[in-house]
């Protein structure tokens, strides 16, 4: 097994997420674009129309989660990289209010859409960033119907932007 493949496998075992080394958004630090759970809405992105929060931050699903179930066995490093969207948001433009819900995520109400628990990616530094798209083949943005967007992020938004792979757990 190549070194890169081994690192990827270890990262997937940790919580299914790699990093670019620019993790921003750590607990106790404000991300470049504040997480704003006041709304779930859709917005245009390099992937097409995707779910975002009230600040325009892209929201992601983790394919291993069950319907309305956060199945991540996530340690502090994982939560730093993939923080859950928490709270009780209001529906915004482009979403079906009936698809917004919550589930128990690490003892707090985690927002769901169409049954998928929602997460942020810490390396998304600006509204519209999609750097978490397709990481390890298990993290994807969602469309307004709640389906995973499987389109690859454009090279400028790619997750491997010259970082060290930084699986760091």
**In this predicted model, what pLDDT tens digit does every residue of 41-93 receive, in sequence order?**
999 999 999 999 999 999 999 999 999 888 877 788 888 999 999 998 899 99
Task: Tell whether 130 is covered by a domain.
Answer: yes
Q: Please state the domain count of the chain.
A: 1
Q: How far apart are CA 122 and CA 125, in angstroms?
A: 7
Confidence at residue 132, expressed as pLDDT on a 0 to 100 scale: 97
166: left (phi over 0), alpha (psi -120 to 50) or beta: left
Domain residues for 87? 3-156
Residue 168, in any domain of the structure: no
With respect to residue 164, please indicate whether it lies within any of the assigned structural domains.
no
* pLDDT of residue 157 exceeding 60: no
What kind and span of H or E run contains 14?
helix 3-14
In-domain check, residue 104: yes
pLDDT of residue 122: 96
- Within a domain: residue 66? yes
Query: Does a structural domain hold residue 149?
Result: yes
């Amino acid at each position: 097994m190549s070194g890169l493949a081994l690192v990827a496998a270890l990262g997937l075992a940790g919580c299914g997420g790699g990093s670019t080394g620019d993790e921003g958004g750590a607990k106790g630090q404000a991300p470049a674009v504040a997480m704003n759970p006041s709304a779930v809405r859709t917005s245009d992105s390099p992937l097409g129309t995707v779910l975002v929060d009230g600040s325009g931050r892209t929201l992601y699903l983790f394919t291993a989660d069950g319907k309305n179930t956060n199945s991540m066995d996530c340690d502090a490093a994982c939560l730093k990289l993939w923080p859950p969207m928490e709270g009780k948001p209001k529906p915004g433009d482009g979403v079906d209010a009936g698809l917004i819900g919550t589930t128990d995520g690490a003892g707090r109400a985690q927002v769901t859409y169409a049954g998928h628990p929602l997460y942020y990616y810490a390396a998304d530094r600006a509204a519209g960033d999609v750097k978490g798209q397709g990481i390890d083949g298990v993290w994807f943005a969602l469309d307004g119907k709640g389906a995973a967007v499987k389109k690859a992020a454009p090279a400028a938004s790619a997750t491997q932007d010259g970082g060290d792979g930084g699986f760091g757990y």
